[in-house]
Structure 1
Amino acid sequence: MDNREDIERFRTGKDLVNQISVVLRTSHIHDPDNVAVTTVIDKFVSTINAFISHERVVSLELRGEYFYINDYRIRYSLEYLLNFDFLLREFKKRELGSIIFKDKINADEVKVLVRALLSSSFAESSFDAIEEKMSQTRNISVGRLKKVVEDSSLDPRKMVKKTYFNAVSYARGVINRIKSGEKVNIKKAKRVVENMVDHILEEEQLLLGMTAIKDYDEYTYHHSVNVSIFSIALGQRVGLNRRTLTELGMVALFHDIGKMDIPNEILNKPSNFSASEWDIIRRHPVWGAKTLLKLKKLDPLTIKSAIVAFEHHMNYDHSGYPRVRTDLKLDFYTKIVSLADQYDAMTSSRVYSRVPLAPDKALSIMMERSNTQLDPLLMKFFVNMVGVFPIGTLVMLSTKELGLVCESNHIFPTRPRVLIIVDEKGSRVKGHVVDLTEKNEQDIYIRSILKTMDPNKYRINLAEYLL
């Protein structure tokens, strides 16, 4: 096959992945018979039939993090990034590994596919439900997602939990070694962070859920890991590759290393800080950069870590600290870490702030700071990532049930998946998960969020449920 054919195959394949994503996204909002949906379906049918005329059979398959069309890997394009990301999540959620098109397909067959994908959300086995519905069509079939590791003993929740607490343990060990004057090599963090990157790519919602479990007594270590997780997840959303995500996660892990030089009587002070105490706290970015630059080996990663440690409180508009004489352009990693740092700090209980903000309230404050303290474009990606009601938010539903948000919905941000912990009679129950996009026979939503609640007021231990 010559170069021209390769380029054409890549372009057509990229368009196919994008178009099927657009069809599905539009169908989430409108009925499949709506003109908005039929228009994008007609466009998709025209594109794929032209492809089928050359290839006879077209197989769209998900392998790991990439889509393949007839064994040809479709590379991500920045302009289509959100659509690629959406379709990848839809496939994984439904255990859908492939869609095979043969002969010439028509719009009605695509509508059957769309309805099968939409209705499968509420089935006990999503893939089985899709496969059953698709038996009605002659020219479209589906295949189950193939997992690299077929071992039932590897429970994803247990693996994610182990990865999270291993990272916390590592952060504790590094900080204590530096405090005692020992030399450390931050490259040893690579394996810890690589595990987090793997889980973000495979089980993003589970690992993000771990960040909702705050530990007041070990705030420093949990905060470092949480900021690393949020940074990796946000980096993945904006299209960074695995190697860059690992580097970002490592610099995020060490962003607050300068706080170990703040005297304990100030760091652990339960009341408000005095002006002189604030002056000391504001020095920690400089101390952090110096600490990192004194480490065993001065390499590009150490320098990037020092830059982020120095800049993470400067703010997007340079209104923060430390003040610099020149109009310094903030590092891209710094902009990401600053977002993650603010969100986790506001939603955590600390010595001088025993009552944390509810996740949705923290997001609201951060949105007000967009374009001043925080990068406005990255803030949009961050909100899309954590959802209007982030994981760990306690919500009152229209059914009078209380629940914890356990998975966000990127198409309907106000309709996440919720773990019910208190039933309509006010009794604590062993949580079952409900999807707020589920409707009754009258096409009316069964449950909606009425308001968010304060879990501290109801003495709800998030770890008890989210673990």
Structure 2
Amino acid sequence: MEHPEKELNREAKNLINQIAVVFRSAQFHSPSNVAVLSAAEKFISAINPFIESEGMIEIEVVGEFFHINETRVRYSVEFLLNFDYLMKEFKDRGLGTVRFKGIISPVDVQRLIRAFIGCLKADDRFDAMSELMQDSRNIDIERLRHVTEEGDSDIRKVVKKTYFNAVSFSKGIISKIKSGEKISMKRSKRVVESMVDMLLEEEQLLMGMTAIKDYDDYTYHHSVNVSILAIALGHKLALGKKAVTELGLVALFHDLGKMNVPPDVLNKPSSFTEQEWAIVKKHPFWGAKAALKLKGLDNTSIKAAVVAFEHHLNYNLKGYPVARFTKELDFYSRIVTICDQYDAMTSARVYSRTPLRPDKALSVMVDRSGNMLDPVLLKVFINMVGVYPIGTLVFLKSREMGLVHEANPLYGNRPRVLVIVNSQGKKVKGYVLDLSEKDQSGNFVRSIYKTLDPNKYNINLAEYLL
């Protein structure tokens, strides 16, 4: 028998999906079209039993997530595109809450559809939608609540503190292991749990922190970045909080073996010799041994050892260390491999001072799909970070220059961009543009012309993303 909480979450995800299907159908067909009527009927069948048991259903946008009756609805891989579509459409209209106060009828749904579609040409879409809904007895709507600048500043401070606490902890891990001390798995878990909690509330801000690369402390930042990316990917895959925390933990420990690589080799500013490369290739084995020596050996420690050993084996098992078994990579290893390669390619390392642009890194990873990288997980990863990941420097056709500020999972090539140079070539404090915005003719207002190298223009990402 299914646990009541799981059943409730399943029904909530289905409800979000059904209302998205209704609105998507209505954007392509008239409200009286059979496809729209069929979608509306399914939505009514899904929501009315919910209303009967709960008394009222309130769908609210909180940050980047939907909440139903103040409970966050987990993303579902099955319904990912519809979730992202609905989130975008709500935000485009300034719509924060839709409240169903009583059993709804086809007439109620038709009124909601007409208001949802009919407000698009208005200057203030929420006001127009609210006016079209004013005669509705069973459905109320509320405007999207925006965080104030002061509140936004406070949130950024908390995100920064969470991130740099994790980096500091990562440094401490290496120091303690080198001195022969045991690492507390409980403390490690608390650090990762803080990142999991932060990602659930402020995903884009925390993901933005991974775009800020610190050359001098690459090893420590890299471990934290891979952990954050793995947590985010696990969340998109609808893993439970316990599994996501475990995934983040093993990702944090994936490069433990690097501490056994001699510093003169690890920090060499030029390419490795054949002998040096042979030493570096031993770090997965050393990492597995180190993970098994963590204080409080348990299943998580064992999984950390597996991931440390496998994260360079590749999806086709033709990487390193040379594998003598034919089983497929562990699920966590396949996730960490993707996150590890992405962060490594987009970072300036000692032996690779020029990082790849994020979009170029994704292009390289696509070429590796099915060989080095799990093709299914890579698709979800690219959908998560977007065609132009956070931190990508872009030049718009409007001659404005900006940094990708927030991914758009529905339109991967149309993120939100923080403009830092206006069309006259002058530096500006920064204003955010949504590249999915359309004019009254249905054409996109702005588009990306090309990506640029921030190092070439002496642009410090930390100045804009911190």
What TM-score do you get using the length of structure 2 for normalisation?
0.86
AA paired with 1:367? V
Q: Per-residue deviation at 1:236?
A: 0.6
Question: What is aligned with 1:421?
Answer: 420
Superposition deviation, residue 62 in structure 1 = 4.7
Residue of structure 2 equivalent to 1:392: 391
Asked whether the 8 Å contact 2:419–2:431 carries over to 1, the reply is yes
Q: Distance in 1 between matches of 2:334 and 2:401?
A: 35
Mark the CA change 1:132 to 1:173 in structure 2 (over 3 Å): closer, same or farther.
Answer: farther
More deviation, 12-21/127-136: 127-136
Q: Deviations over 1:374-428 (max 9, x none)?
A: 0000000000000000000000101101010000111111111000001111111
In 2, the alpha carbon distance for the partners of 1:86 and 1:383 equals: 16
> Do residues 279 (structure 1) and 281 (structure 2) align?
no
1:249 equivalent to 2:248? Answer: yes
Q: Report the equivalent of 2:99.
A: 99
Amino acid at match of 1:112: R
1:237 Cα deviation after fit: 0.7
1:333-358 CA distance string (max 9 Å, x none): 00000000000000000111111000
**Distance across 1 between alignment mates of 2:347 and 2:31:** 43
Contact map agreement 2:126 2:143 (CA 8 A) in 1: yes
Percent identical residues: 52
Q: What CA deviation, in whole Å up to 9, does each residue of 1:308-341 have, x standing for no partner?
A: 0000000000110001212132110000000000
The alpha-carbon distance between structure 1 residues 112 and 223, as it changes in their structure 2 partners (threshold 3 A), is same
Residue in structure 2 matched with residue 32 of structure 1 by the alignment? 27
User: How far apart in 2 are the matches of 1:167 and 1:136?
Assistant: 52
Instruction: After superposition, give the CA deviation of every residue in 1:11-62 in whole Å (9 maximum; x if it has no partner).
Output: 87664332112234x37xxx73636995553223223445677757762435
Given residue 235 of structure 2, which amino acid in structure 1 is its aligned partner?
Q
- Runs of 5+ consecutive residues of structure 2 not aligned to the other structure: none
Counterpart Cα distance in 1 of 2:195 and 2:38: 39
User: Are 2:216 and 1:209 equivalent residues in the alignment?
Assistant: no
Contact 2:313 2:320 in 1 (8 A): yes
Q: For 1:344, give the aligned amino acid.
A: D
Q: Residue 264 of structure 2 aligns with which residue? A: 265
**Is the partner of 2:202 in helix, strand or coil?**
helix
Match of 2:57 in 1: 59
Q: 2:40 aligns with which of 42, 45, 48?
A: 45
Which shifted more, 90-99 or 400-409? 90-99
Greater displacement, 288-297 / 334-343: 288-297
Contact 1:409 1:417 in 2 (8 A): yes
Taking the aligned partners of 2:173 and 2:415, their CA distance within structure 1 comes to 37
Give the AA of the match of 1:190: K
**Separation (CA, whole Å) in 2 of partners of 1:287 and 1:10:** 42
2:116 is aligned to 114
Q: How far apart, CA to CA, are the structure 2 residues paired with 1:350 and 1:89?
A: 36
User: Kindly tell me: are residues 387 and 37 of structure 1, through their superposed partners in 2, closer, same or farther at Cα, counting changes over 3 Å?
Assistant: farther
**What is the rounded CA distance, in whole Å, between the counterparts of 2:240 and 2:133 in structure 1?**
35
Deviation at 1:83, TM superposition (A): 3.6
Distance 1:92 1:200 in 2: 20
C-alpha contact (below 8 Å) 2:188/2:249 kept by paired residues: yes
Matched with 2:461 is: 462
State which drifts further: 5-14 or 246-255.
Answer: 5-14
Letter matched to residue 42 of structure 1: L
Aligned 1:159-238 pairs, distance under 5 A: 159-238=158-237
**Contact conserved, 2:250 with 2:303, CA < 8 A, in 1?**
yes
Listed one character per residue, the Cα deviations across residues 173-221 of structure 1 (whole Å, up to 9, x for unaligned) are 1111112222212331111111111122121111111100000000011
Is residue 351 from structure 1 mapped to residue 350 from structure 2 by the alignment? yes
Greater Cα shift, 77-86 or 322-331: 77-86
- In 2, Cα distance between equivalents of 1:6 and 1:298: 31
The residue aligned with 2:375 is: 376
1:359 Cα offset (Å): 0.1
- What is the rounded CA distance, in whole Å, between the counterparts of 1:327 and 1:32 in structure 2? 49
Q: Which string of whole-angstrom CA distances, capped at 9 and with x for unpartnered residues, describes residues 205-258 of structure 1?
A: 111111000000000110000000000000011110111111100000000010
Q: Would the alpha carbon gap of residues 32 and 153 (structure 1) be closer, same or farther in structure 2, given more than 3 Å must change?
A: closer
Whole-angstrom CA distance in 2 between matches of 1:46 and 1:327: 50
Q: Is the 8 A contact 1:41 1:110 kept in 2?
A: no
- How far apart, CA to CA, are the structure 2 residues paired with 1:163 and 1:116? 43
Local SS of the residue matching 1:42? helix
Query: What is the aligned-residue RMSD (CA, Å)?
Result: 3.5
Q: Are the structure 2 counterparts of residues 429 and 345 from structure 1 closer, same or farther at C-alpha, using a change threshold of 3 Å?
A: same
